[in-house]
Amino acid sequence: MKFLDLAKVHIRSGGGGAGCVSFRREKFIEYGGPDGGDGGKGGDVWAEAMDGLNTLIDFRYQQHFFAKSGQHGMGSQMTGKSGEDIVLKVPVGTEILDEDEETVIADLTEAGQRILLARGGNGGWGNLHFKTSTNRAPRNANPGQPGVERVIWLRLKLIADAGLVGLPNAGKSTFLAAVSNARPKIADYPFTTLHPNLGVVGVDGREFVMADIPGLIEGASEGRGIGDRFLGHVERCAVLLHLVDGTSETVAEDARTVLAELAAYSPLLMDKPRITALNKIDALDEDLIAERRAALEAGIGGPVQLMSGVAKQGVPQVLRALWSEIAPTRRVVADDADDAPWQP
């Protein structure tokens, strides 16, 4: 299935049916009076977050969603049938934006969440509503209200506990494949990852979800490369794992490049807990490992883990460090659930 995380959608709710002008006509009843029914309500347009979806690809092949209009009222005080609603089924983690691509209408982060995007028009009143003591035979009725038409954007941000960031070929896909059942494309050239990948990672009997996004390069925040398109997927992560290629001779400069692009994209990413790991140490001797670790620690101003995704050296230690940052967020969610009012 092809991955798509941004889609433009045209929606329109149904218009209300018109009210009816009608008079009762029966044998032996000379003045039956008005009996025009009301028009039916137009259908609404909803969006609902669904489990089991992880892409917006369906919205590439269908971009227009128009709800049915309500049926017109009829004689004998019969109300018209209401139009059927339309529900846009989107993955959990989908943001709904206005046409300007900046105003957030809703953020669906839990399965089953629903948001009304366009309300259907009300049906018009039939002439029965206009009968008064001085106007016994009204010949007017209301038209139905028109539906609402608008353009929205759907933007998917994957729900993950930890996010992998780094330059191309830093070993992110290899690491994800080593610690989970995910099978991302792995090759010895840059930009082998063209779309985000998710994997379920286990450590010490606990599990969490990790997201791997395409590599960042210098100038990504200005549109160079493809990694900046997917940085939104790690905005929801509790912790970031920054992998640095240990075989590079400029490890400190490489790390600063990625950090600069994260800061340029959103200060929110820089405020997240971050664990830095020097990867591919299986290809280095001990002296070179110590030298480059020291250079990297001086460059980022913090501690550096040592690991190799291929040889799985130091991987458990990195996973435990990630879990130590994720665990407090899990407890917060559990506490919030305990404090929620009981529902019968």
Please list the pLDDT of the chain residue by residue as tens digits (344 residues): 456 778 999 999 999 999 999 998 888 877 788 999 999 999 999 999 988 787 888 888 899 999 999 999 998 889 999 999 999 999 888 889 999 888 899 988 888 899 999 999 999 999 999 999 888 889 999 999 999 999 999 988 877 788 888 888 788 888 888 888 766 555 454 455 556 777 888 888 888 888 887 766 665 555 555 555 667 777 788 888 998 988 888 889 988 888 888 888 778 888 888 899 999 898 888 899 899 999 999 988 889 989 988 888 888 999 999 898 888 877 654 454 444 443 33
Predicted confidence at residue 195, as pLDDT, reads: 61
Q: How many CB atoms lie within 10 A of CB 51?
A: 10
Classify 3 as helix, strand or coil: coil
User: Is 243 labeled as ligand-binding?
Assistant: no
C-alpha distances (whole Å) from 168 to each of 221, 227, 243, 250, 258 are 15, 9, 10, 14, 10
User: Is 213 labeled as ligand-binding?
Assistant: yes
User: Is 276 labeled as ligand-binding?
Assistant: no
Mean pLDDT of the chain: 83
User: Is 167 labeled as ligand-binding?
Assistant: yes
User: Is 279 labeled as ligand-binding?
Assistant: yes
In angstroms, the CA 106 to CA 326 distance is 25
User: Is 282 labeled as ligand-binding?
Assistant: yes
- Which residue ranges make up each domain of the chain? 1-156, 162-339
User: Is 316 labeled as ligand-binding?
Assistant: no
User: Is 214 labeled as ligand-binding?
Assistant: yes
User: Is 328 labeled as ligand-binding?
Assistant: no
User: Is 115 labeled as ligand-binding?
Assistant: no
| 1-156 matches 162-339 in fold | no
User: Is 27 labeled as ligand-binding?
Assistant: no
Q: What is the CATH number of domain 1-156?
A: 2.70.210.12
User: Is 192 labeled as ligand-binding?
Assistant: yes
| Bridge partners (DSSP) listed for residue 90 | 49
User: Is 169 labeled as ligand-binding?
Assistant: yes
Q: How many CB atoms lie within 10 A of CB 211?
A: 26
User: Is 280 labeled as ligand-binding?
Assistant: yes
> What's the helix, strand, coil split of the chain in %, to 5?
25, 25, 50
In angstroms, the CA 64 to CA 161 distance is 34
User: Is 87 labeled as ligand-binding?
Assistant: no
What fold is seen in the domain 162-339? Rossmann fold (3.40.50)
Q: Which of 104, 118, 129, 99 is closest to 8 using CA atoms?
A: 99
- Give every CB contact of residue 200 below 8 A, 6+ residues apart in sequence: 180, 181, 182, 207, 208, 209, 210
